[in-house]
Structure 1
Amino acid sequence: MAVKNLFLLTCALLAFIGVSPSNTIAQTIYAYPAYPGAASSPLYTVKVDNQTVFTEKLTQFAGEMQVHYAHFSLEGTATIQVTVNESFNSYKLSPKSRKISVTKSGNTLTFKTGPNYLVLQVDSKELLFVLIDPPEINPPKLTDSNVKNIMDYSVDNKGSKLETKTIQTAINEASGSSKNILYFPPGKYLTGEIFLKSNMTIYLAGGAVLYGSNNTADFNTGSGGMSTEGMQHALVRFLNCKNSKLIGRGVLEGNGKLIRSKGLNACVVKMDESSNILVDGVISRNSSYWNTLPYRCDSVTIKNYKVINCRPTSTEYNNTDGVDFDESTNSSLYNAFLYCGDDPMAVKNEFLTWNGKATMNTRNILHEKIVTYSNSASCKIGTKTMGQSMSNVTFKDIDIIKANRAMVIDAIDNALIENIKFEDIRIEATGILIDIQNTSKPSWRTTVNQC
């Protein structure tokens, strides 16, 4: 279909333009405990102003590149020391646009930074992510009158017992109640698919992880919601929700590589026909398929969000997208890190009709201040472009460390694509800079009214 009013604004290929870190001194470092069973990195040790922070190795990705990450929050600027427990020669700290000066002494690299999402490549070794969030603003406390502790339900927080039913009961009771914030202290909570409800909040403290079950049957705990490409279920669901929040500095572990091997395509976070949703601060990792999918939603805000998927090195891509706004309106992704085996951001119009209703045409979607590292298209419209229109979609202040295609519009179906902006896009490595398609039919699906 037609593509009009496409703006490519201040797009810099292989240009590393940015602001140097502040010289202010750190006021506070917020380090988080390891959850039970987390694998400590044998390769990297990370210190922040001489304080060691836990660095995890994601052994779940075995068979592909395993990655390591340190996560903490920081007020101001701190000195970061990364010691590599093997000898090395070369190193690269990305995004290069940050212009962070790194010094090497023996096997230790030192640099200064404030809140930032960084990728360290040392020789050809496994990657290290240094994920530094800003401090939380007025986070819930267990002593607050509107807070309910999940431990009041006698759940296991060591990851040894499946707690789906109990967690769901706690969610149901929080919805609309005077204690409508459900607080998860540090610990490992083994669960299948859970459904948030309207007018409530889940708060995951730093060091808390909702850990997906090994059993695919545990991800079929409720009906409803859109199904596409065999994907209907998720670890965390928002289904017909209003005024719901998922916040904190904890982790959502989808256990995706394992459940995908057992034949299940599932998101980590999936939203269907929901509005006024906030997701803030969590790490969403190891999706078996698209990581985060708002479908037919309005007024969704996702920010301070870290996606770590399994990125294949043995094949071209593996469907592990990052955040895909699909038939959604008036929504945003702000300040995010997206490490993906497929498209980090792919805005879609999924169906001509679903559940007896015509396409909800995507409009007013903002992606801003994002760092991506992926095998496929970083900033993308499509591939599914059904319905009448897709309009006012912006990609702004994006650092693309690696991609196959950087800026993409796949206008294959019948929607009019208009007012799309790619603004301040900084690219370190890509195969194709700009790719606009309206005649190249995908081999894996049937198109509608192909131009």
Structure 2
Amino acid sequence: MKKIMMLIGAAAVWLGLFPAAVSAVAPQQPTGSDKFHKPSELFSARADGRALFVEHFKAIHYVNFPVTGPTRIEAAFAGEVNDFRISPMILGIEGTQAGGTVSFTLPGPGWYVLEVNGREKLILLADPVETDVPRVGDAGVISVLDYVKSGSDDTLQTEALQRALDEASRTGKTLVFPRGVYRTGTLTVGSNSRIYLAEGALVKGSENREDYPSDGNRPEADHINNKANYSDNGEFMTFSRLLLVDNAENVRIWGRGIIDGSGTVIRAQGKPANLIRIRNSKDVLIEGVILRDPAAWNTHILHSERVTVRGVKVLNDFAVPNTDGFDPDASRDVLIENCFAYCNDDNIAIKTTNNMDLLQDLERVTVRGCVFITRKSSLKVGTETKAGRMSDILFEDNDVVECDRGMALYCYDGAAFENIRFVNNRVERNFPDNQRKAIHFQILSRSGKGHIRNVLFKDCAFDIMFPKGASMAGLDAEHCIDGVTFDGVTVAGKPVRSLSDLGMEEPRFVKNIRFK
């Protein structure tokens, strides 16, 4: 119990200080159009007695609402409840069941998953109360409604929205998106932009692939119209996106609104557009918003420096391929903190792809305090590794609710991986995909031969033994995995003191494995 309370206290620190009142603030409601917000037919929910809007989005059901402290949840399921579990399990949230209703108390702001009958998920995105809300009419604040028509869900307004963004960049004023729907194709964000999406604002991507032009008309990985040349290699896969932060400095995008890429529709047209790409930029902050339904990687951070993504909620379509959560690529000083990500593909994939011929060593990437669900890898470095060096990478205090591979290092293109730390991460269960390994390290030679050196696992816990255990394989005696330390690691509650405790097959070209 002491450890649980310490964890809750730590969560309160990163979320800020909140009053002790046990109550939920007015819940977030959908935008004015039901077209984009389908009510859940399986779940209904109340927070401290107040009804919440539960949305059925793709394969999940979720609710996004602010809280000020401990909050009592009543979640009703439209069917028989045979069993349930509440994640992150490290918090020890105990629920009670009465008929089809499960009741429990959230300790405060955070990301939680109620799973019923081992299948249906209700994701509870409990935000801290906003403290930095710009008001239209205040000095230095402008409204996007001064540039676009409001109340039209089907009208594409790309040009008008771009004018508003350009004005915000030119003047340094804060551009506010009030509640409403804003249909658009690709938009570009420039330096000194401050963009606030109010609760109920929905930036909705076009459902026409032609509204996402590729850089220099470069051919992309079109699995519908050009199957022979399809590639999921990040160097060639995509050159388009909904929102582009390009060659910019001093950018902030924040709020409680939604950016939706219509990715399920446009990927079916063969268009692998990212949701957000931050390219060749510095000092960028994305905070608090929901980023949902990309056609490929959700947030691609390419050749950039000092990028922070904090408190962001990623909701991808579990059925759309290549929909990673966050992809730091040839970047430096990146922080991904206190985020939630539900992905078809990797939650985190730290890369050096050479996309757009932008390549440099990757350094100092931290991922901490997040909650993740994926059918693929969760905490991953690779697969594209085309720079000379990728170093000083920290995964800390993350809860992986479900994944195919918990922690993966894939050095396939010749880089030197150095000083990679997995500290105080927890993996709850295995998603039955094709690998089913808690840990998977591998060196291959696609376009170069690399190394993996100095990897630390400290105070990490795997709640179960994955079906295939763990696996580590270097390439050869010269291109090997050198220096892996396990300190305070547990599997199914048992301390790891040997390879057999990890269920690991005999490692190949691996040396200096230590157990503490």
- State the TM-score, normalizing by the size of structure 1: 0.88
What's the offset of the Cα at 1:222? 6.9
1:296 shift after superposition: 0.2
Structure 1 window deviating more from structure 2 (195-204 vs 17-26): it is: 17-26
1:280 shift after superposition: 0.1
Aligned-pair distance for 1:224? 9.4
Aligned 8 A contact 1:74 1:135 in 2:
yes
Question: In structure 2, how many angstroms separate the alpha carbons of the residues matched to 1:157 and 1:127?
Answer: 32
Measured at CA, do residues 154 and 164 of structure 1 come closer, stay the same or move farther in structure 2, by a change above 3 Å? closer
Q: 2:71 aligns with which of 78, 83, 87?
A: 78
Do the aligned partners of residues 229 and 156 (structure 1) sit closer, same or farther apart at CA in structure 2, a change above 3 Å counting? Answer: farther
Aligned to 1:267: 274
Q: For residue 12 of structure 1, what is the aligned residue in structure 2?
A: none
How far, CA to CA, are the matches of 2:314 and 2:165 in structure 1?
24
How many angstroms apart in 2 are the aligned matches of 1:434 and 1:448? 23
Q: 1:437-448, aligned counterparts within 5 Å? A: 437-439=442-444, 446-448=446-448
Deviates more, 1:106-115 or 1:361-370: 106-115
Shift of 1:159: 1.4
Q: Deviations over 1:3-35 (max 9, x none)?
A: xxxxxxxxxxxxxx7447689433551422211
Amino acid at match of 2:412: I
Aligned to 1:411: 411
Q: Distance in 1 between matches of 2:141 and 2:184?
A: 21
| Counterpart contact for 2:20–2:68, Cα < 8 Å | no
Mapping of residues 66-145 of structure 1, within 5 Å: 66-113=59-106, 114-145=108-139
Aligned position for 2:188: 195
Alignment match, 1:362 = 362
Compute the displacement of 1:124 (Å).
4.7
Larger Rg: 2
Residues 248-397 of structure 1 correspond to what in structure 2 (within 5 A)? 248-312=255-319, 318-351=321-354, 354-355=356-357, 359-397=359-397
1:414, distance to aligned residue in structure 2 (A): 1.7
The number of residues matched between the two structures is 416
Q: Which residue is equivalent to 1:11?
A: none
The code of the aligned residue for 2:184 comes to: T
Question: Aligned to 2:28, which of 24, 28, 32?
Answer: 32
1:159 to 153, 160, 163: 153
Instruction: Give unmatched runs, 5+ long, in structure 1.
Output: 1-16
Amino acid at match of 2:38: A
Contact 2:148 2:157 in 1 (8 A): no
| 1:57/1:68 contact within 8 Å kept | yes
Q: Write the distance in 1 (CA, Å) between the matches of 2:119 and 2:25.
A: 28
Question: Offset of 1:125 from its aligned partner?
Answer: 4.7
Q: Which runs of 5 or more residues in structure 2 are unaligned?
A: 10-18, 221-233, 431-435, 451-478, 480-516
Q: Which structure's residues are more often strand, by fraction?
A: 1
Q: Which residue, out of 147, 164, 167, partners 1:173?
A: 167
Contact 2:153–2:183 at 8 Å: present in 1 too? yes
Letter in 1 for 2:149: V
Contact 1:21/1:100 (<8 A) preserved: no
Is 1:399 matched with 2:422?
no
- In structure 2, the residue matched to 1:5 is none
Pick the aligned partner of 1:433 from 421, 438, 441.
438
Q: Which structure carries more helix by proportion?
A: 2
1: CA distance, partners of 2:150 / 2:377: 40
Kept in 2, the 8 Å contact 1:344–1:374? The answer is yes
Deviations 1:146-171 (A, max 9, x none): 11111122423441211111100100
SS at match of 2:145: helix
Say if 1:221 and 1:161 are closer, same or farther in 2 by CA, change over 3 A. Answer: farther
Percent identical: 30
Cα shift readout 1:101-151 (whole Å, capped 9, x = no counterpart) = 111122111111111111111115532110011122222112321111111
Cα-Cα RMSD: 2.1
The match for 2:460 is none
| Secondary structure at the counterpart of residue 86 of structure 1 | coil
Structure number with greater CO (CA < 8 Å, separation at least 6) is 1
- For 2:111, what is the secondary structure of its paired residue? strand
Letter in 2 for 1:90: D
* CA positional deviation for 1:191: 0.9
Relative to the length of structure 2, the TM-score reads 0.77
